[in-house]
Amino acid sequence: MPSLSPPHQSNPITRRSPLSYALSSSSPAPSSSAMGLGNPLPQTGISKVTIESEADTRLRSSSSGGSAKSGQSQAFGGKRRSGSGSGTTGKMGRREWMILGGIVLVGWWVRMYKIGRPSSVVFDEVHFGGFAMKYIKRKFFMDVHPPLAKLLITLSAWIGGFDGGFDFKDIGKDYLEPGVPYITMRFLPALLGLALIPLTFLTLISLRLSLATAILGSLLITFENALITQSRLILLDSYLVFFTGLTTFFWVRFSLHDSEGRAFTATWWRYLFLTGLSLGAVVSCKWVGLFTIAMVGVGTLRQLWLLLGNLKVTPRQYIRHFAARTLCLIVVPATFYALMFKIHFWVLNESGDGDGFMSSEFQHTLQGHGMEDTYADVGLGSKISIRHVHTQGGYLHSHAHPYPGGSKQQQITLYPHRDENNVWRIVNASAADGPASYPWDELPFEYVLTGSKIRLEHVTSEKRLHSHDVRPPVSEVDFQNEVSGYGFPGFAGDANDDFIVEIAHQTRGKRDRQARHRLKTLRSQFRLRHALTGCYLFSHKVKLPEWGFEQQEVTCNKNPTWENSLWFIETNNHAQCAAVPFDADKVNYQKPSFFEKFFELNAVMWRTNAGLTERHAYDSRPQSWPVLRRGINFWVKDHRQVYLIGNPFVWWSSTLAIALYLGMRALLVLREKRGFRDLHKPKIAFYDEVCTFCIIGWALHYLPFFLMQRQLFLHHYLPALYFAVLLFCTVFDYLTSSIKPRTRIQVGAVVLILAVWNWNHWSPLTYAGPWSKGKCEKGKWLRTWDFSCNDFYEDMSMYKGTAAMPSQKVELEDGLGADALTTTMVEEAPEPIKNAFEAVDPPPEEKTVAPVGPQNEVQMQESTIALPLADPSEAPIQEDTRAPVGVDAGAPAVTDGSEDDGGWHGGAEDDASGAQGGSEKVDEGKAPIGAKVQVAEMGLDQEQKDLVEEALKADDQI
């Protein structure tokens, strides 16, 4: 076995032990004197086997607890600090705590400075503030993120006295007038952003880096602009990054105690349990926390692997190590995660706008969405409501509006809410010449069996479910036919109304064998096959246009998927059953258990999160994040702006540190092949272990984003940035480890000055402060930095004489459209990240029941027929309600289609100054475009005619 010891030197190479013993290894560390913590290693090397034997001896020694001797370690300024475990466990003395307290005071000022500005809704406060409102009102909603961070936001709002009366609907909506406690709601994320600063300091100390490096690292986090911006607003990333840093700190502390042979001591158990608890917290804020779990998992596997190779560790001890890590790093996080959803369900116990995403059984657990018991047996003449099994269980629905094309018969849709237009009557279709109606209260009750031929009659409009060889309005493919409502009072129907019932073998809820053969409410799942064409009644996640009120399309598919062609009956009423209410069997939904609701909700969150593939005006891809290629426009108002951009020096230096380490590590591998033993030197081995830990944390929090096709933004890089800063500090510590302490302090001061200068230079974008247009233009170091300099005044003195305008709803009236992304006006509103769950607002009920009449025709004419030109002075300018064109339309109308926030919304080839809604804006003294204008012929006197002839003759001569 080759020796791991370096040659003898007159001075210690380092005060640190190799990280195989200091950070990740499960093998206990040797004494500090042997590892170079106090005295240099002797020239005669100690073999690995000898070191393991000494460690195992201490591991079995319960009396000593396996603690190594404490030694002196070099501290800030070149002096040595002594104390119990100061060199091995990273304990700090009074001086270090005082320095940390001073850094926290600086961080408090940086994070809390004018936290009340802006005093209006900023960017995704639209969503997360709105979620707090729904929590307080206890209305169920849907979001792609787990609930912990949103619950904490709600807690801060409740402490501040928020009653849920503010909807956070629009960016720029004023907080002050309605009395929203927004400062209290912003204070908690700011406090967690502040807590990240001492966590960084303590983590670097626990990694056994110098005190100067710990000070530098904590101050780099203090003056990082992106972290400041995120922590001063009602957003989730401050919670996420804090719990990521907390997990990292606890894991480093646990690994440190584990490597020193302190296994199964109280401190060892405490840090292991706290690591698991913080893992549960980070994944309960955002699923990005899964990357933190992966980081800890990699370290755990390494520890267990080293333990497995240690022949001195008995199988009984190994099982204890494995069980302890399984309990604290798997069971504890999973339990914490599930507990957050338990609280989530307990708070949101009333029906809300997220009901439509959940199954019928789930919805039945919400107050206001319950259902009375309904009759179980379904027969001919039953009035039923039919629900789709697969796509969030919408109701088979029809309303008195025709398709604009195709057959132009009455629309059939899938509607997510209860409505009288969801009620259908089952009619027997076996008789060829049956009557138009039957006396259902007199006829004997007849069950609907599998294979029965039926017709479905819409009770409200008296039309029948109908299909024919006409293509659907949206899914215009050959294997799908249109489904419509056809018929009139007194008409018995035709053969295209006939459907055959095919009951599926699988039942819903409790097992009911009868439900496999005859139709039963809430138990049977069935398909409806069209008798003539053989297609099946079908629905999928395709929405109809505005003329269909954006309800889900229903077609008749000749080759359907099984799930999308399954239906079930939710409510059932029959005259015969009502006559004997005590004898007829009744059923209701079977309420799901907590874990059934838990897994269903997480499945919906996962599918929806993966489906967020639409582009956003300020989204970006992962390859652009380390170089800070572009930021995110959060808020624009009153010649001020909030723009998420990182501290360029911190980002670029940390990225450079990553590239430098990877290059040096590759060089060391090549040198190893050539016989050099660099990695066997304690100093290089120590820094290599620390850098490896940081680079793994960075890679696991960054590289998985390359596999995602969903919307991504710059703030997704913040957890990875934290590990990049730790890596930069490690590289700094290594590069300055051989120079004088005073020189190290000077180098660190230069680095800190550069970071502070960068923070101050872009602070107007962080704090929504005043900035001149000229300074803004100079601040665009990269052309891709698209913050708008036109929003600022020409001179800073103009801010002194201008009082801040009260916040109000931001509207676009500049007519710039997508170009406003780079050349914005003062009134431009940045676009919040779209919440997929808020896009399915139920249409007003009057739309689904309004009769077709003259009023509807007039409205259609207003949007399609050009009106004659009126007097320019009297012609009103109609509001443009057309949808924006392009993925980079930065208007709020992109995410809130029910309200127009201004701006040009016309077509790509339309003139921004053209007509709207068929009327044209006519300037005074100018003829409208396209109008014929009579111009009087200009007359010339004799002298002018002579001059013209002379000019023409001169031109001919030339």
Spacing of C-alpha 807 from chain mean position: 27
Helical packing angle, 266-285 and 148-159, nearest 10°: 90
Residue 175 structure tokens: 């907080």
The reported pLDDT for the residue numbered 835 is 57
The reported pLDDT for the residue numbered 831 is 61
Question: Binning pLDDT at 50, 70 and 90, where does residue 178 land?
Answer: very high
269-273, 282-286, 494-498, 655-659: the lowest-pLDDT one = 494-498
Answer with the residue of higher pLDDT: 577 or 120: 120
In whole angstroms, what is the distance from residue 958 CA to residue 954 CA? 6
In whole angstroms, what is the distance from residue 372 CA to residue 552 CA? 27
In whole angstroms, what is the distance from residue 90 CA to residue 71 CA? 11
* Residue 178 per-residue DSSP state: T
pLDDT, mean over the chain: 78
Best CA proximity match to 384, nearest among 522, 526, 570: 570
The reported pLDDT for the residue numbered 407 is 87
The reported pLDDT for the residue numbered 579 is 59
175-203 average pLDDT score:
95
**Are 549 and 856 spatial neighbours (Cβ–Cβ below 8 Å)?**
no
**Are 207 and 23 spatial neighbours (Cβ–Cβ below 8 Å)?**
yes
In whole angstroms, what is the distance from residue 116 CA to residue 107 CA? 17
377-391, 693-707, 708-722: the lowest-pLDDT one = 377-391
Strands 499-503 and 480-486: unpaired
pLDDT > 90? residue 359: no
Q: What are phi and psi of 518, to 5 degrees?
A: -130, 150
495-518 average pLDDT score:
85
**Are 641 and 792 spatial neighbours (Cβ–Cβ below 8 Å)?**
yes
Cis status of the peptide bond prior to 928, with omega within 30 of 0: no
Buried b (16+ CB within 10 A) or exposed e, 95-123: ebeebbeebbeebeebbbeebebbbbbbb
Out of 170-179, 374-383, 483-492, 903-912, give the one with best mean pLDDT: 170-179
In whole angstroms, what is the distance from residue 286 CA to residue 128 CA? 13
Out of 428-437, 756-765, 860-869, give the one with best mean pLDDT: 756-765
Out of 342-356, 563-577, 695-709, 913-927, give the one with best mean pLDDT: 695-709
**Beta-carbon count within 10 A of 740 CB:** 10
Q: What are phi and psi of 875, to 5 degrees?
A: -75, 120
764-774, pLDDT tens digit by residue? 999 999 999 99
840-850 average pLDDT score:
43
pLDDT > 70? residue 228: yes
Best CA proximity match to 307, nearest among 322, 327, 293, 290: 322
In whole angstroms, what is the distance from residue 375 CA to residue 581 CA? 9
**What radius of gyration, in Å, describes the C-alpha atoms of the chain?**
36
522-552, pLDDT tens digit by residue? 888 999 999 999 999 999 888 898 898 989 9
Answer with the residue of higher pLDDT: 233 or 809: 233
Where does 548-598 show beta strands of DSSP type E?
Answer: 552-557, 567-573, 586-587
Tell me the pTM: 0.74
In whole angstroms, what is the distance from residue 482 CA to residue 336 CA? 49
Spacing of C-alpha 808 from chain mean position: 27
Helices (H), 207-265: 211-222, 225-231, 237-259
3-state SS, one letter per residue, for 67-103? CCCCCCEECHHHCEECCCCCCCCCCCCHHHHHHHHHH
Which domains, ranges and CATH numbers included, belong to the chain? 19-81 (no CATH), 372-588 (2.80.10.50)
Tell me which residue has tokens 């996962």: 606
**Are 509 and 516 spatial neighbours (Cβ–Cβ below 8 Å)?**
no
886-909, pLDDT tens digit by residue? 333 333 333 343 333 433 333 333
Helices (H), 355-503: 360-363
Residues 6+ apart with CB under 8 A from 146: 283, 284, 285, 286, 287, 337, 340, 341, 605
At residue 236, the 3 state secondary structure works out as coil
Question: Binning pLDDT at 50, 70 and 90, where does residue 419 land?
Answer: confident
Burial of 954 (0-12, 13-18, 19+ CB in 10 A): exposed
Between CA 572 and CA 579, with CA 573 as vertex, the angle to 5 degrees is 145
**Beta-carbon count within 10 A of 582 CB:** 4
Answer with the residue of higher pLDDT: 577 or 570: 570
Best CA proximity match to 457, nearest among 365, 352, 382: 382
434-446 average pLDDT score:
71
**CA neighbours within 13 Å on the CB side: how many for 309?**
11
Helices and strands: H and E segment counts in the chain? 26, 18
In whole angstroms, what is the distance from residue 240 CA to residue 210 CA? 27
Between CA 242 and CA 250, with CA 245 as vertex, the angle to 5 degrees is 125
pLDDT > 80? residue 651: yes
Spacing of C-alpha 523 from chain mean position: 37
Strands 73-74 and 536-543: unpaired
The reported pLDDT for the residue numbered 435 is 65
81, β-bridge pairs: 73
In whole angstroms, what is the distance from residue 224 CA to residue 651 CA? 9
The reported pLDDT for the residue numbered 90 is 59
Residues 6+ apart with CB under 8 A from 607: none
Q: What are phi and psi of 98, to 5 degrees?
A: -65, -40
Determine what percent of the chain is predicted with pLDDT higher than 70: 73
723-729 average pLDDT score:
97
Residues 6+ apart with CB under 8 A from 176: 119, 806, 807
Best CA proximity match to 121, nearest among 831, 788, 905: 831
In whole angstroms, what is the distance from residue 486 CA to residue 467 CA? 9
Sign of CA dihedral 914, 920, 922, 926: positive
In whole angstroms, what is the distance from residue 273 CA to residue 332 CA? 8
309-335 average pLDDT score:
94
30-71, pLDDT tens digit by residue? 333 333 333 333 333 333 333 333 434 444 443 333 333 333
**Are 494 and 467 spatial neighbours (Cβ–Cβ below 8 Å)?**
no
144-153, 467-476, 874-883, 889-898: the lowest-pLDDT one = 889-898
420-431 average pLDDT score:
87
Residue 37 structure tokens: 């913590």
Residue 340 structure tokens: 């957050």
Question: Binning pLDDT at 50, 70 and 90, where does residue 925 land?
Answer: very low
Query: Which whole-number Å values give the CA distances from 322 to 300, 319, 458, 542, in the listed order?
Result: 9, 5, 63, 49
